[in-house]
Amino acid sequence: MKKTADIKAPNAIDIEVGRRIRQRRQMLGFSQSILAENLGVTFQQVQKYEKGTNRVGSSRLQNIARFLTCPVAYFFEGTDQIAREDGNVEGSNVTDFVMSSEGLQLNRAFLSISNGKVRRRFVALVKTLANDQDAADASDALDP
């Protein structure tokens, strides 16, 4: 039988759903207050949803998805892996970067480029810079 403290602890899936709500809200440039106002709750309640400390009910999640213009399934992407890991929530480097302020700025700027050819050239440039950085790091490691 589970202890009361175990039942009250945030569930790994709830934490991931909350993280995805936060990620989507930030990607669209909305504050917690704007989302809260649209949902008819306080911004503190949105904070609790995003931290996973309060579970999001199905109808509320549907309203969040509608406001954030994404399918409800978006909030559950990657949760199969979490369930297999028995609640071990670890963000990948990519996810952590995309959620960072720098990552959001980069993605917004990239999305503002409408020309596909320019986008491909930008990706090629970034790959070249990354390879140059790797080569420079390797060279620095060889020099005493």
CATH number at residue 30: 1.10.260.40
> How many independent structural domains does the chain possess?
1
Whole-number Å distance between alpha carbons of 42 and 31: 12
Domain-embedded: residue 136 = no
pLDDT in tens, 76-104: 887 766 655 544 444 456 666 777 788 88
Q: Which two tokens stand for residue 74?
A: 């978006």
**pTM exceeding the 0.85 threshold for the entire prediction:** no
Domain-embedded: residue 25 = yes
| Largest CA-CA distance found in the chain, in angstroms, rounded | 62
Q: What is the extent of the structural domain holding 70? A: 4-90
Domain-embedded: residue 126 = no
pLDDT in tens, 35-80: 999 999 999 999 999 999 999 999 999 999 999 999 999 998 877 6
How many CB atoms within 10 Å of residue 38? Answer: 15
Domain-embedded: residue 143 = no
Q: Is the dihedral of CA 64, 70, 73, 77 positive or negative?
A: negative
